[in-house]
A and B are shown apart, each in its own frame.
Chain A
Amino acid sequence: MQQHELRVLKPEEYFIEVEPYYEPVADEVTVFEAAYANGLPILLKGPTGCGKTRFMEYMAWRLKRPLITVSCHDDLTSSDLVGRFLVKGGETIWVDGPLARAVRAGGICYLDEVVEARKDTTVVIHPLADDRRVLPIEKLGELLEAPTEFCLAMSYNPGYQSVLKDLKQSTRQRFVALEFSYPAAALEQTIVERESGIDPALARQLVKFAHMTRNLKGQGLDEGASTRLLVHAAKLIHSGVAPVVACRSAIAQALTDDADMLSAVNELSASLF
């Protein structure tokens, strides 16, 4: 009988070898390490593009554990997280989902944009998120106990609230929360320089531009430019694109579709370069 190799992704085998570039804004590294040492799960709150995922990569490198990321969406079921039986060549084989893999390997499981998932899916993590630190797998009849190296983290953006999608108190009160937001101007400038390789003067102007767009938040823009957008624009500039053009495509068009707002944002970028 031919045994087919079950083709399965094994993220728990990938350790981050190279130090990811991350600049601490406040004391998030210390708090995360303290939470990790105490076996507490962590919730990262903040707008998009301000370093949450990069922070997770950095911590995974620092703590020398594999990072297993799950992007949450509306159709995510508990089997997607925990695991399921597959039929292969007449045999049924149990395949662990990313959450079970992380628990078994003592890695860090990172649930990105957790509010997108349905509530009946997110309750699966409750036993892991309180002091029990176990993952019950009913289908296997197994109670998987998390080793001390295991860590559960999740992220969400509190700014986009729909009445239908919200984080329940019973979930959020299990977590240590870290708030992320845009770094201070000098720090942001350093980050942009390091990530793209452009010179400090240009980086400073880009950061100024980002601040201008953040002034417009609530006046018609949902969010100002995130650090990630700045890095995109900087990379384009470094490759030879004119600064105003780079700002237009990488930042303005990404932020809004409203004609008046686009004009205003483009005028702002044209004023700086």
Chain B
Amino acid sequence: MDVYLDPALSSRRTAAGPASELAAFPPREQGFVLHWGAVIARDNAELAYQFTAFAPRGLRLMDPDAMESWLLYAMDLYDKKGQVPAIRAFQDVEGFAANRQERLAGIVLEDISGVLERFVCGLNGRALRIAVGERCHTDTETIFLPGVVGRLPEKEANFRLYKAMTVHQWAQGWYGTWRGNVLLDAVAREELSASAVDLFHALETVRLDACIERDFPGLHRDMQALRLALDTQLQAYAPDWQDIVRPLRDPAARVRDSLALWADLSGHRAPPCCYRGELLPEAVRARMQIRAALDRDSFRIALARLVEEQDKQAPGEDRPDAETLPETAARLGTRAKEDPDSPEGLTYELFLDGKPVAPPEDVVSTMESIIQDLGEIPPEYLVAAGPGLYRRGLGSEGKDADSAWAGTYHEEGAFAYDEWDFSRQHHRKGWCILREHEVKPAGLAFYHATLRKHGGLIKSLRRTFEVLRGEDRILKRQPYGEDVDIDALVEAYADARVGLEMGERLFTRRQQDDRNIAVMLMVDMSGSTKGWINQAEREALILLSAALETLGDRFAVYGFSGWTRKRCEVFPVKRFGEPYDDLAKGRICGIEPRDYTRMGAPIRHLTGLLRAQDARIKLLITLSDGKPDDYDPAYRGEYGIEDTRQALFEARLDGVHPFCITIDETGPEYLPHMYGAANYVLVADVARLPAKVSEIYRRLTS
């Protein structure tokens, strides 16, 4: 040891200590330490000393494989961060050994959140998001889970633990823990300590587990197996616990019953549960308040729409500021219908003037959300929204957007576009002012980084697209060609025998598929795309442009954004006719999130550009992250959606096929109305956007 540790030794520090510790180990372990010590010493003698000093402790805790990963981990730190962190890593050999299990068998939430989100979406009810949280809980719209779980020795088992946590949080929403404000009211009335909430949670868990047992036997099995493995102190709890909680296992038990039982049991200790997390009533209260208002308003607006369809005129036009129209309340009604699949066993039918009406899909999901939160559609919800509520949009104060720009904006050199006002059913002529703005090309660093990151994907995409392009189609029944079409010849011969004219189209010809397609890519550059989404959009564009270059299809890329009707902006990244060169690539890299998404005018402008192209098939593909929106609150909501829809309709009349690729999970509620049932696609995971966009394009054009 003295040999390789020499630079690190001094009068105060000798190799005697480590050597005597190591002597206690068999020769193989000694050889291991000495060998690696020498190797490390070539880089840094101090680190070699630390390694040698702590290795014996490590040998007692870990096997040789783990030892190797320990020292590699420390050397990695040395390479990346320097000597001090590496020394600390060597000294913390115990910590490393403890975490090793977690590292080996642990699961990171990021890796499986996609699967869990789809799983929860399939289970039913509101589509919940999954996010990392300090405390495991739900606020009824998002499920918060720990970032890493490694309590069990196998990956599969840790995944099941994550799944159990997710299911429990989901069950709170579906089986009514928070429904009807029963629990929230109880919390508000009493002064609750943490352990009191915990006890209630334990009781409610019994009720939820019983519901899960009835509906999802497979899940229940998994969850109970986890409790057996992890909640080892369960046995220590009062043996009569099972008897006490028996009434909660009844199918008719509701959260009320859990509350009543909890009142009787106060002071009891709550048994632990590995998957139940915590109850945070304040988080739920805040979220539900916001949602209740939103749901109620959008439901009322939908009712107004239904009344309008029935009456063939907009209701309450004489009262432009009215928020609700009380006279409609008498005409609207609901009736409860049994439905074993829904949370309370009931769905609601809507009646207008005594006749049933079928509400559109987005209204149905609003109604389901209301029922999931409140257990019913409250009678006071049954009133149509007045024009005041319509115009106001949802939850924002009106601002006079026009005055912000009056007098300060030159309207020369800009394009004026109409806008569709659906409530008046006519165009507002020249309502929007649109300008084209340059995009400053950024450096090509992002471009190269994307190529590196998606290198494999790009290669396979190119292959797929080359097959599309280089598809040597054999055209049959051609008037001229390299080969004879036997089928055609046989038919022609038979015709000739009968006395008919022999056909002329008797040849086959090989042809490079003549793709006569022009594509306009419309990229959402609104402020909401900031961060992840903007990056994914740019990556998607780079991938798609690479594919389009291979295919030889004509394409153009434009970004769009805007700020009120007087300032609609369109950003040419690559025009038709411009080559896909470094300048264009630089502009793609330079795409930045900007303002809002007033979509109508850009669509009209870009359709015009597309119309000028001479191609058999013209596609307008929109990459977006959400609904049409603007600083001007009148554009939000209904008005914006209708204007966009009209613009797309006008595009279709011009022979342009619009298509939308979105990452907005509520997309399926408004996109079918705007684009058509089959002309949009939701890419649920932003990281998948690049790959999906190219796949979708391929599907669209072959």
Q: Which residues of A contact B (CB under 8 A)?
A: 75, 77, 79, 84-87, 92, 94, 139, 158-164, 185, 211-213, 215-216, 218-220, 244, 260-261, 263-265, 267-273
Contact = CB atoms under 8 A, between A and B. Distances in A.
A45 to B, nearest CB: 11
B660 interface: no
Contacts of A159: 677-678
A204 B701 CA distance: 40
Q: Is the interface of B mostly helix, strand, loop or mixed?
A: helix
A267 B476 contact: no
B684 interface: yes
A267 B491 contact: no
Nearest to A93: B494
A271 B219 contact: yes
Closest 7 CB pairs of A and B: A85-B494, A264-B118, A212-B122, A271-B219, A161-B678, A92-B497, A260-B114
Nearest to B699: A162
Contacts of B497: 85, 87, 92
B490 A87 contact: yes
B563 to A, nearest CB: 31
A264 B685 CA distance: 14
B699 A272 contact: no
Contacts of A215: 121-124
Q: How large is the interface on B (under 10, 10 to 19, 20 to 34, 35 or more residues)?
A: 35 or more
Contacts of B494: 84-87, 92
Interface string B332-361: 000000000100000000000000000000
A267 B685 CA distance: 19
B218 interface: yes
B218 A244 contact: yes
A79 B490 CA distance: 12
A41 B477 CA distance: 31
A172 to B, nearest CB: 15
B668 A218 contact: yes
B500 interface: yes
Interface of B: 114-116, 118-119, 121-124, 127, 163, 167, 216-219, 222, 341, 476-477, 490-491, 493-495, 497-498, 500, 617, 619, 657, 665, 667-668, 677-679, 681-682, 684-685, 699-702
A185 B341 contact: yes
A272 B221 CA distance: 10
B212 to A, nearest CB: 9
B701 A213 contact: no
Contacts of A216: 118, 121-122
A213 B122 contact: yes
B498 A75 contact: no
Contacts of A213: 122
B118 A219 contact: yes
19 contacts: A75-B476, A86-B494, A87-B490, A87-B494, A92-B497, A94-B498, A139-B500, A162-B701, A211-B341, A216-B118, A216-B121, A219-B682, A244-B218, A264-B114, A264-B115, A264-B116, A264-B118, A268-B122, A269-B218
A260 B681 CA distance: 17
A264 B119 contact: yes
B217 A273 contact: yes
Contacts of A264: 114-116, 118-119, 122
B668 to A, nearest CB: 5
Contact of B619 (A163, A220, A271, A272): A163
A220 B681 CA distance: 8
B657 A163 contact: yes
Interface centre among A159, A164, A185, A265 (most CB of B within 10 A): A164
A87 B684 CA distance: 58
A164 B678 contact: no
B678 A158 contact: yes
A192 B667 CA distance: 33
A11 B218 CA distance: 48
Contacts of B115: 260, 263-264, 267
A244 B216 CA distance: 13
Nearest to B125: A215
B687 to A, nearest CB: 11
A216 B702 CA distance: 25
A164 B702 contact: yes
B601 to A, nearest CB: 24
B678 A79 contact: no
A260 B678 contact: no
Interface centre among A211, A218, A269 (most CB of B within 10 A): A218
B483 to A, nearest CB: 16
A216 B668 CA distance: 11
B42 to A, nearest CB: 43
A160 B678 contact: yes
Interface centre among B493, B498, B685, B702 (most CB of A within 10 A): B498
Nearest to B657: A163
A263 B159 CA distance: 11
A92 B498 contact: yes
A240 B595 CA distance: 60
A162 B702 contact: yes
Contacts of B667: 218
A272 B218 contact: yes
Contacts of A185: 341
Interface centre among B116, B163, B218, B678 (most CB of A within 10 A): B218
Contacts of B491: 79, 84-85
A216 B123 CA distance: 9
Contacts of A212: 122-124
B11 to A, nearest CB: 61
Interface centre among A75, A163, A267 (most CB of B within 10 A): A267
B684 A219 contact: yes
Contacts of A273: 217-218
Contacts of A270: 218-219, 222
A215 B500 CA distance: 58
A267 B164 CA distance: 11
A216 B667 CA distance: 13
A120 to B, nearest CB: 11
Given A164-B702, A269-B218, A272-B217, 5 more contacts: A87-B494, A139-B498, A163-B701, A260-B115, A264-B119
A137 to B, nearest CB: 12
Nearest to B341: A185
A41 B677 CA distance: 25
Contacts of A265: 118, 122
A251 B290 CA distance: 39
A269 B497 CA distance: 63
A92 B121 CA distance: 63
B218 A162 contact: no
A215 B361 CA distance: 13
B26 to A, nearest CB: 45
B412 to A, nearest CB: 38
Contacts of A269: 218
A261 B681 CA distance: 16
A85 B119 CA distance: 58
Nearest to B616: A164
A118 B500 CA distance: 25
Nearest to B111: A260
A269 B376 CA distance: 30
